[in-house]
Structure 1
Amino acid sequence: MLTISQVLIALAVFLLIMQFLKLQRVRRQLPPGPIPLPIFGTLIQLNFQFNRDLLMKVAKIHGNIFTLWFGWAPVIVLNGYQAVKDGMTMYPEDVSGRLVSPFFRAMAKGKGIMLATGHTWKQQRRFALRTLRNLGLGKRGLEHRVQEEAHYLVAFFASMKGKPLDPSFPLVHSVSNVICAVVFGHRFSREDETLHELIRATEHLFKFGGSFIHHLYEIFPWLMCRLPGPHKKALSCYEVLSSFTRREIRMHTDRGIPDEPQDFIDFYLAHIEKSKDEPRSTYNEDNMVYSINDLFLGGSETTSTTLIWGLLYMVANPDVQEKVQRELDAVLGPSQLICYEDRKELPYTNAVVHEVQRFSNIISVGMPRVCVRNTTLLGFPLKKGTIVLPNIASSLYDPEQWETPRQFNPGHFLDKDGNFVSQEAFLPFSVGHRVCLGEHLARTELFIFFASLLRAFTFRLPEGVTKISTEPILGGTLQPHPYRLCAIPR
């Protein structure tokens, strides 16, 4: 006679077999991919890893649109420029939803811009775009903020008098101060402990993103939310940002809304009052807090990380650095204020900035989208709610689009006469309805900060250091290994 334990084991095996057969029936209707298993999906075949290079390897086996499984959930991956562009732009509205995964729901509760979807996302994004334009996005007003921070940054590097330094904090500080001025209406001094705390919280959040524990939380949220660990620290870091934002909002509320709003919070408070009688309005303090968090996170970490890579590449490629400096010296005066418009007269410098973005390729994979209705993606019918993951990194490394995709080569953006040439496969800000809303600001910051530093200094390795790593550290963004350099005044 069978024991209870034997019966339970037999029942579990039977259920697993039934689930396996069900998965095989479902997968026949989706793009090809590794065979999914019950509970784990395709994670075992992927060795519980998930990064851009792994996805590109899978694409070589299954094609540029394929299916991975996270537990019971299929994820449709787009790989390579053509698949990413066509998939995100053929029916852009259909794939404009955001996957609010368990960890991100615990963090931002589906509010704000970056981690919101549907009506909330549309209202918050539309308002943020309009407000950033009102605050000078794309105009000289906001460019002046960038130039001001570039001046402070150059002064700090000059104060080091060529001594070795880690450039990461001064770069993060300067970039963060631009978005702080836009959102909060003021900048922070380099010694301000509040900004140090915000930067530490931001760095911890991005390091946690994409980690093994992060993946575990997304698969077993009911278990992980009850256990201690790094996920708890990450959520507390997000709360640090939220608490600071709420204090800033209270300060703005206490002083009253000015007749002419001066920053993002002023505009948002005025709009809450204006739309209070609209039945479907999503304008409230919570959405304001999470929208501001999104602007701070998106407007500080990615741009500063790209600049950190940029200085690393200049140290590793002194011939490129020297050529940039020759062009800057020939076109700009020694004290001339550098403007974004100057890029048109500085084709090589502009090409180097673009190549830094392409080659550093700092977003590990990209944020997943969700189909908001039944649709067809590159010939495959997908149901509403299906997760779609455009591997943006694969577009920046696509061998069909770039002459030497795995080498740092500014020539990717130059024609035979040395003129700057834009490239369609250059998609660091994503594509479609979810394209980065701060793209213009980021482009302006990268060019002005980079050109200002290269005009003022030559960057070299400290004495006695002969090697420097250009391999990334995996995380929410791909960071270079910590390094030190010397900024030698020119």
Structure 2
Amino acid sequence: MLLGAATVVLLVCIACLFSFASWRWRSGKGKMPPGPAPLPILGNVLHVKPKNLAKTLQKLSEENGPMFTVHLGSDPVVVLHRSDLVKEALMDRADEFAARGHMAIGERANNGLGIIFSSNEGWLQVRRFALSTLRNFGMGKRSIEERIQEETEHLLEEISKTKGTPFDPVFMLSCAVSNVICSIVFGKRYDCKDKKFLSLMENMNNILKRMNSYWGQLYQMFSKILDYLPGPHNKIFAEIDALKAFVSEEIKMHQGSLDPSCPQDYIDCFLCKMQEEKKNPNSSFHMKNLITSTFDLFIAGSETTSTTIRYGLLLLLKYPKIQEKVQEEIDRVVGRSRRPCVADRSQMPYTDAVLHEIQRFITLLPLSLPHTVTKDTHFREYVIPKGTTIFPSLTSVLYDSKEFPNPTEFNPGHFLNENGTFRKSEFFVPFSAGKRICPGEGLARMEMFLVTTTILQNFTLKSVVDPQELNITPILSGTFNIPPAFQLCALPR
């Protein structure tokens, strides 16, 4: 019995020594960037807080330098936590750093397919196809602007029904934003009272929360173990399956009504492309990729934008004087007799600055989505081995104190010149940068402007508590920064 215990202790010690020696070998000049010493299998789990990963890595950068290695589980991750490092990797050396890094939830959910979590040749083809199709159906054009304006009218109706009483804006905003992408992808909108549609909104909201929860982040680190164990981490895949089942149903209906001479939406276009390439055994245009890419567009075009708008409303509640100045500019440029349009934005520098500052301040994706290098890569004085995951910290760019003085303060002045005109910044990278920049950036910016200005044109937003008591710190900060729940009152103007 004693001999058995001694053997276990000896094996653990050998494993620790091997892990430490391996870490020392990989670290240092000419090797991997330095970082905290990992434990066998567990990696640096004692150094990071899964529920607040972004903040933890920021603190580690203060201790280990702006470029360091941290082990999330047994996998080494290189963190770039300074604006010049992030810009060099994502923009100057975009080809070398463009591939998608290890992201366990996305890999299990999409199995290498779709747009968000893949990086093979098929990904490139499907991404290009999706971008061209979105443009053909109006992304960045007047036709999509009219769709957004239509949805804001429905949103105003729903807000009016609250009659100035407190309400949670989560599902109202989710429905409005989601219906815009639905009109492009599915060719129709859904009623906000539709129980099935509301259930899908809840699915998406839960996916975002579960991804960034303690268990969601633990799964990212220890998926090889947790894949075989029961627990809360598995619930996220049930939510994803529900959304994909909905997408599959929509595709079946499209197959029955498809007119190849007149495709009505993204699904129709993809089905036509599948028909064109049916004799190509290596084609990326097949049913599984249709389901997955449609799922990607649906969730990416819904939840990220609605969360940004929601966080923006929270900040306007927190800073009512800023809300007042936006309303003054809306009244001066747009007035009350018509709805805001995209063309108004160039005449509204303060509003534009507020919207930019909202995105900068909340840093929705603090670490971007992970990247990787597809070959051994010399970067500064280090060598990053092929397949190593890279976390380019967007926070380090958006919170660069030389570009944005007092970056932890919410201040629209960060995007204004002294004469009050709008100030562009190369450090504004909330949609990431380089070859992996968000393909829906143009649509998201249009929605944020039109939805926010239309709400403020018609309502003054009031907090149900003293604005000074409002909490604006993310409740979860993993892959995404998730805003705290709040209620507001919308008083007609």
Task: Give 1:303-452 correspondences, 5 Å limit.
Answer: 303-452=305-454
Whether contact under 8 Å (1:458, 1:488) holds in the other structure is yes
Residues 36-59 of structure 1, C-alpha deviations (whole Å, 9 max, x = no match): 232222222335565222222222
Secondary structure of 2:355 counterpart: helix
> In structure 2, what is the equivalent of residue 22 of structure 1?
22
Which moved further from structure 2: 367-376 or 2-11?
2-11
- Is 1:110–1:116's contact at 8 Å kept on the other side of the alignment? yes
Quote the Cα distance in structure 2 between the aligned partners of 1:177 and 1:448. 14
Structure 2 residue 7 is matched with structure 1 residue 12: no
Q: Among 467, 482, 488, which residue is 1:479 paired with?
A: 482
Aligned to 1:151: 153
Correspondence for 2:461: 459
Alignment of 1:16-55 (within 5 A): 16-28=16-28, 29-46=31-48, 51-55=53-57
Whole-Å separation in 2 of the counterparts to 1:477 and 1:223: 24
Q: Is the contact made by 1:51 and 1:365 (CA closer than 8 Å) also made in structure 2?
A: no
Q: Which residue is equivalent to 1:124? A: 126
Does the 8 A contact of 2:66 with 2:80 survive in 1?
Answer: yes
- Residues 252-297 of structure 1: CA distance to partner in whole angstroms, max 9, x if unpaired? 0011234221111011101111122234311111111111111111
Give a deviation string over 1:314-367, Cα, whole Å, max 9, x none.
111111111111111111131323221211011111111111111122224221
How do 1:59-458 residues align onto structure 2 when only pairs under 5 Å count? 59-458=61-460
Give the C-alpha shift of residue 117 in structure 1. Answer: 1.3
Shift of 1:214: 2.3
User: Post-superposition shift, 1:162?
Assistant: 1.5
**C-alpha RMSD of the superposition:** 1.9
C-alpha distance in 1, partners of 2:165/2:212?
35
Query: Which moves more between the two structures, 95-104 or 191-200?
Result: 95-104
Tell me, in whole angstroms, the C-alpha distance in 1 between the residues paired with 2:223 and 2:468.
46
CA contact (8 A) 1:71 1:219 kept: yes
- In structure 2, how many angstroms separate the alpha carbons of the residues matched to 1:256 and 1:271? 12
Fraction of identical pairs, as percent: 37
Q: Structure 1 stretches (4+) deviating beyond 4 angstroms?
A: 47-50, 463-466
User: Are the equivalent residues in 2 in contact too, given 1:67–1:74 (CA < 8 A)?
Assistant: yes
Q: Secondary structure at the match of 2:251?
A: helix
CA–CA separation in structure 2 for the residues paired with 1:401 and 1:410: 13
Secondary structure of residue in 2 paired with 1:51: helix
Residue type at the aligned position of 1:336: R
State the TM-score, normalizing by the size of structure 2: 0.95
Q: Is the 8 A contact 1:51 1:364 kept in 2?
A: no
In the TM superposition, what is the alpha-carbon distance from 1:449 to its structure 2 partner? 0.4
TM-score by length of 1: 0.95
Secondary structure of 1:238's counterpart equals: helix
Gaps of 5+ in 2: none
Aligned residue pair count: 490
Unaligned 5+ segments in structure 1 are none
Moved more, 175-184 or 161-170: 161-170
Distance 2:388 2:375 in 1: 9
